[in-house]
A and B are shown apart, each in its own frame.
Chain A
Amino acid sequence: GNSVTQMEGPVTLSEEAFLTINCTYTATGYPSLFWYVQYPGEGLQLLLKATKADDKGSNKGFEATYRKETTSFHLEKGSVQVSDSAVYFCALRDKSGGGADGLTFGKGTHLIIQP
Chain B
Amino acid sequence: DTGVSQNPRHKITKRGQNVTFRCDPISEHNRLYWYRQTLGQGPEFLTYFQNEAQLEKSRLLSDRFSAERPKGSFSTLEIQRTEQGDSAMYLCASSPGGAGANVLTFGAGSRLTVL
Instruction: Spell out A's residues near B (CB within 8 Å).
Output: 4, 32, 34, 36, 41-46, 49, 51, 89, 91, 93, 100-108
- 5 further A-B pairs in the complex, CB-CB below 8 A; given A43-B109, A101-B56: A32-B102, A100-B45, A101-B101, A107-B40, A107-B41
Bound-complex Cα distance A45 to B3 (A): 11
Q: Which residues of B contact A101 (CB under 8 A)?
A: 31, 33, 48, 55-56, 101
Q: What are 25 A-B contacts with C-beta separation under 8 Å? A: A34-B102, A43-B91, A43-B107, A46-B103, A46-B105, A49-B102, A49-B103, A89-B42, A89-B43, A91-B42, A100-B45, A100-B56, A100-B58, A101-B33, A101-B55, A102-B35, A102-B56, A102-B58, A103-B43, A104-B45, A105-B42, A105-B43, A106-B42, A107-B40, A107-B41
CB distance from A27 to the nearest CB of B (A): 14
Q: How many inter-chain residue pairs (CB < 8 Å) link A and B?
A: 58
Closest 10 CB pairs of A and B: A105-B42, A102-B45, A44-B106, A43-B106, A43-B108, A107-B42, A105-B43, A101-B48, A32-B102, A108-B42
A51 to B102: give the CA distance in the assembly, Å: 9
Query: Whole-angstrom distance from the CB of A10 to the nearest CB of chain B?
Result: 11
B93, B104, B108 pick with most chain A CB within 10 angstroms: B104
Answer whether residue B28 sits at the interface, using C-beta atoms and an 8 A cutoff.
Answer: no
Total residues of chain B contacting the partner, CB 8 A = 26
Which one of B41, B43, B55 contacts A44 once the chains associate, using CB atoms below 8 Å?
B43
Task: Return chain A residues, CB-CB under 8 Å to B41.
Answer: 107-108
Would B56 and A43 count as touching, CB distance under 8 A?
no
Q: Which of B94-115 contact A (CB under 8 A)?
A: 101-109
* Interface residue B26 (Cβ < 8 Å from any Cβ of A): no
The docked-state distance in angstroms from the alpha carbon of A51 to that of B93 is 20
Judge whether A103 and B45 touch: CB under 8 Å: yes
Q: List residues of chain B with CB within 8 A of the CB of A107.
A: 40-42
